Structure formats: C-alpha cells, structure tokens
Amino acid sequence: MSDALDPDAYLASLRRLRQSRRFLDRPVPREDLEKLLEVARWTGSAKNSQPWHLVVVTERETNEALAGYGAFTGFLSGVAASIVVALEGTGRSVAYDDGRLQERVMLAAAALGLGSGTAWFGTPESRQQVRDLLGMPAELEPWSAIGLGWTDTSQRQAAPELSGRKPIEEIVSWERYRR
Amino acid sequence: MSDALDPDAYLASLRRLRQSRRFLDRPVPREDLEKLLEVARWTGSAKNSQPWHLVVVTERETNEALAGYGAFTGFLSGVAASIVVALEGTGRSVAYDDGRLQERVMLAAAALGLGSGTAWFGTPESRQQVRDLLGMPAELEPWSAIGLGWTDTSQRQAAPELSGRKPIEEIVSWERYRR
C-alpha cells in the first residue's frame, strides 16, 4: 500500500461504496473513463483468462436503447456513460470474475467522485438485443453494465431498507459454522 | 472519497492487487481479521440479499484439512487464516456477489499489508467435505475461500505469464463493439 493511502481511510472507503442510479446531466471526461478502463483491465480472473470485452457507451441514444432491455436497466437512460461487460461464457466462474471487475470499477469511480450502479441483462432475449445494438458476436454474453455519472450529493441517501446490512454475528462464525 | 486518500494512489492500488499463495509462518491479529470482516459485511449484493455466511479459520489443522479438498486449494495448508465463503444458492447471481465480496476483502487485506488468494471448492464432493468439516447446513454452498497471510516481499514477483494483461485495445470498444 502506498504511503499516500491511509489504511483506515482506505478501509472506510471500501465499506462506504454504494450503488447510484440517478445522475446529473453532465458528461464524464474521456480521461476519467480511460482511468476506469485501466483499472478494469488489471482485474484478476480465474487462471488469468480475462474473459471479457467492455463496450463504453457515451451516446445518450444508445444508453436509452439499453435502458429498454431487461427489467433492471431503466436507469441507464440517465447515465453519462455506461460500460457494457460482455463475457466469454455463461458459467459460474465468469460470473465471479464479472463481480470482481465491476467491484473494482465502482471503487475506482468513487475515487474519481463518480457514482456508479449495476444494470442486468438477465434474459437471453435482452442479451440478444444488446448484441444486436452494439454489433457483438454471438459468443459474447453481455450480462451486465456499469452505469456512471455525477451524482447530486444533496440527494445521496439511499432508502434505509436497501442500505442496511446484517449484523456481523449473523454472517460470521469463527473456526466452525455456528448460528 | 476521503481527503486522506489521493485518487491517483487509490487507482494505482486497485490496478496493483495480485493474488498471493505463499505466506510467512506468522499469525494475523484478530483485530485485522475483524476489519476485513467489516469490509465484507458492507459488500453490496443483488437486491441487498447478502447471500453469504463467512467462516474464519485460524487453526492450522483445519486449514490443512481444507487444503485437501478440491484441485485449487493446496495453498491453504500454509495460510495464517482463511475465510470460507458459503453462499445461499448455486446461481449466477450469487457467484457475481461472491466475486464482489472477495475483491473487496482482498483489497482490504492489501491495505493492511496482508497478501491474499482465492481457493475454489469446485466440485459438489469438495463442498460436502467442507460442510462436514465446518458443520455447515446443506443449504449453504461453500464455493470458495480467501487465504490470508503475511508475504515475503523479497519473493513478491508472480510468474510473468500469470501477471500480464491483454492490451486495452483488445478488451475495450467505444460506442459499438469492434475488434
């Protein structure tokens, strides 16, 4: 860890990450997007397979189209940019790697002052729509996208029922499982 | 982002995370493990379902037993501690959430100066062995574990073929898919 990073502040930043799905009408500089892509590029993956291709979408019209595909994508109509994550394969292992990549990119976005949220293309039909829109080959599965933008910090509070967490005793055991 | 965190140094830390699977024979303080668990607890998950239970194992004998279950777990015999991640369910969505949690914990470990690596219980048989060892109920799937410990920084270099990444042009397109 670099001397420029205080461990306690760093851990606090990891605890603090939340999803944002409402953004200001203000573009994200290309330079910031490139920084996020570099972070994504260095994400670890099973056997270093790097089973992904990322499509960055800044065109409003394209993001509005993506917002219509699937049940949990509507907020993409209001993002400044999205990063569609297309994976090679449908297995558990690539889903795990997808989670690693998205977590890292969302943390990087927060470091740049950006909000971010995950969108899901949960059905085969919605993934085919994404493929058609973006000109993707059949062997890539566009499972998800990260929506990005500047947030109105005056409206930062998430609904309490979505921001709470189970107490530590409920999710952790020591040495052996106990409930 | 806190003022105590320089964004460039933060992004560098995200790019720099690597897996460690060889550790010094030196325990990890309980206080550090508790910090990692707090970070894990705050990980986001689909619909805030928090579909996990974590078992922290510091006993050498138990970690040695875990090291015998499955094909990619051998290094657990030499960890100072492991965190077994048991998930509610087998689906793609929980695998994605597992990736998010592990990425966050590995970043937190690095912030504390600790190395970490992922172990996989890839077969139903190996997961049943883990369940039996740790006394876990059948409805939990112990898919993976995070191995933790102090690393010998004089031997930090990973094999180059495992530490490289594809060039950015190969994994990123802008606006539409291009190769």
Decide: B57 and B82 in contact? Cβ < 8 Å.
yes
Could you give the CA distance from residue A33 to residue A148 in angstroms, rounded to a whole number? Answer: 9
Amino acid at B56: V
Decide: B133 and B101 in contact? Cβ < 8 Å.
no
Q: What are phi and psi of A6, to 5 degrees?
A: -75, 125
CB contact under 8 A, B111 and A5: yes
Ordered domains of chain B (ranges, CATH): 18-151 (3.40.109.10)
How many CB atoms sit inside 10 A of residue B61's CB?
Answer: 8
Could you give the CA distance from residue B61 to residue B83 in angstroms, rounded to a whole number? Answer: 15
Residues of A in contact with B39 (CB under 8 A): 11, 14-15
CB contact under 8 A, B113 and A164: no
Could you give the CA distance from residue A81 to residue A25 in angstroms, rounded to a whole number? Answer: 11
Decide: A85 and A56 in contact? Cβ < 8 Å.
no
CB contact under 8 A, A17 and B176: no
Residues of B in contact with A178 (CB under 8 A): 135
pTM summary value: 0.92
Could you give the CA distance from residue A116 to residue A160 in angstroms, rounded to a whole number? Answer: 18
Token representation of residue B169? 């042009």
Could you give the CA distance from residue B80 to residue A28 in angstroms, rounded to a whole number? Answer: 43
Could you give the CA distance from residue A102 to residue A43 in angstroms, rounded to a whole number? Answer: 9
Confidence (pLDDT) at B155: 62
The answer on pLDDT for A1 being more than 70 is: no
Q: Where is B90: in which H helix or E strand?
A: none
What torsion do the CA atoms of B101, B107, B110, B116 make, to the nearest 10 degrees?
40
Using CB atoms, which residue from A10, A52, A108 is nearest to B171? Answer: A52
Using CB atoms, which residue from B37, B111, B164 is nearest to A172? Answer: B37
Per-residue confidence in pLDDT tens, chain B, 179 aa: 566 799 999 999 999 999 999 999 999 999 999 999 999 999 998 888 899 999 999 999 999 999 999 888 999 999 999 999 999 988 888 999 999 999 999 999 999 999 999 999 999 999 999 999 999 999 999 999 999 999 987 665 555 445 689 999 999 999 999 98
Structure confidence by residue, pLDDT tens digits, A135-149: 999 999 999 999 999
